[in-house]
A and B are shown apart, each in its own frame.
Chain A
Amino acid sequence: MATIKSLDPRVARAELPTEPTEVVLNPEEQWETYEVFHQKKSGARHIHQGTVHAPSSELAYTFAKEQYGRRDQTYSIWVVKTSQVFTVENDNSLYKTVPEKQYRNAGFYKVRDKIEKFKRQMNEH
């Protein structure tokens, strides 16, 4: 069988056939995905970073540690099955609430005018 003469000694040793090989992955062969949350240091929040493909939580964690923690400072990592994350389809439309809800914000509550008026009244008396 003719083999590929590669400059890469690893490939040369593998003695790959020059004839193209047919390789087809089966559905689900790359397993399911897990969502990865990364905490930079103690006191910080866990922040979503991305996903890993893994067959189990244990391997997902083992993979996530290197894919998302090998460079950045890391204190802790969580992994969660993607399929376990609940959301509502097109949920952004739920958040387009009417804008007249300033009563939920601190800026809605103004006291200075009342105090100034009160002080003026006190001074007049």
Chain B
Amino acid sequence: MYGGGFIPDDIDKKVPVDQEDPVRLEEFQARIDAGEKIEPHDWMPHEYRRQLIRLIEQHAHSEIIGALPEGTWITRAPGFRRKLSLLAKVQDEVGHAQLLYNAAETLGKPREAMINDLLSGKSKYSNVFNYPAKTWADTAVIAWLIDAAAIVNQTTNAKGSYGPYCRALDRICQEESFHLFYGYESVVTLATGTEQQRAMVQEALTRWWKPIMHFHGPPDTSSVHGNQLERWKVKMASNDAMRQTFLNMYVPKIWELGLTVPDPDLKKNEETGQWEFGDPDWDEFWEVIKGNGPCNHERLQVRRKAEEDGRWVREALMARSGKQVLPLS
């Protein structure tokens, strides 16, 4: 026996939780309630496995596609300092995809299958990366605020129940803090620079505000499904709660720079402590999810091209490679 682990016959097949062995299910829940982490070879309900694969895989796709908006400016970054930083940052996104695909693979889905589901459009990734980076200032706003929003999400999920995902997220969060500081410094440089630079960064912020408000997902509606994932510590916080955390931390910093966001209704209700905001156009959110955003098509075509162009390299060495088994952890 080696660490090949359990490979379910059909990962996509739905097995309702009530069809699981009730004793094992109870033990499983007790472990999670006690704060224990679940490891790849542990027993787990089919639905836990399926939902985790979906979650981690989408996260991995978001990283690999997330390299593209900022990559738009990789050959044009102004000066050595920015050129090196942007390269390192985009490199990290690719590296994060590697770590996350690895975490998802431990659950039984091979990396080829995940990439195929990305290329075919079957599997989703974060909407925010389907928007274009029109100017250099867009890369600054992305590196600061999209990464900030992602950190809120990732530090929350790092407290979840699945060991390999938590470990990947711990490493990712460490690297993201560099992105955040790099992005903040880039935005501050532009915002405190010339009129022209200020205008560039303001326009970029205006462009990106809607996708930023969409980042943590639509407003929560309580559902049985949601509760189950929360009990299993797959979902660690509500979309609204994460959005509030983000607004609390970053709106004051945006305002401090004299920048504005395109939402006249955005304000903190001092009584409730909650941020109130205008409708960030959830119709658009759903349209982009359906594949109708400004860059959905381009992003996927770029990935298809990269995979196709690299195929001869991979195929040339397949005979050398031994048979795949699941990664250990």
Known: A4-B301, A27-B112, A56-B320. A33 touches B119 (CB 8 A): no
B207: interface (CB < 8 Å): no
Cα–Cα, bound, A71→B172 (Å): 12
Q: Determine how close the nearest CB of chain A comes to the CB of B209; give it in whole angstroms.
A: 19
Is B324 a contact partner of A28 (Cβ separation < 8 A)? yes
| CB contact list, A50-100 vs B, under 8 A | 50-56, 59, 67, 71, 81-92
Q: Enumerate chain A residues within 8 angstroms of B119, measured Cβ to Cβ.
A: 23-25
Q: Enumerate chain B residues within 8 angstroms of A28, measured Cβ to Cβ.
A: 112, 318, 321, 323-324
Q: Enumerate chain B residues within 8 angstroms of A107, measured Cβ to Cβ.
A: none
Which residue in chain B gives the minimum CB-CB distance to A15?
Answer: B305
Cα–Cα, bound, A52→B321 (Å): 13
- A-B Cβ contacts below 8 A, count: 150
Q: Determine how close the nearest CB of chain B comes to the CB of A1; give it in whole angstroms.
A: 13
| CB contact list, B60-93 vs A, under 8 A | 68, 71-76
Give the residue of A18, A32, A48 whose beta carbon is less than 8 angstroms from that of B297.
A18
Which residue in chain A gives the minimum CB-CB distance to B308?
Answer: A23
A122: interface (CB < 8 Å): no
B21: interface (CB < 8 Å): no
Q: Enumerate chain A residues within 8 angstroms of B105, measured Cβ to Cβ.
A: 33
A8: interface (CB < 8 Å): yes
Is A67 a contact partner of B302 (Cβ separation < 8 A)? no
A118: interface (CB < 8 Å): no
Cα–Cα, bound, A48→B164 (Å): 12
A43: interface (CB < 8 Å): no
Cα–Cα, bound, A27→B323 (Å): 10
A21: interface (CB < 8 Å): yes
Is A7 a contact partner of B134 (Cβ separation < 8 A)? yes
- Chain B positions near chain A (C-beta within 8 angstroms): 1-5, 39, 41-43, 68, 71-76, 95, 98-99, 102, 105, 110-112, 115-116, 119-120, 132-134, 167-168, 171, 175, 297-298, 300-302, 304-305, 307-308, 311, 314-315, 317-318, 320-329
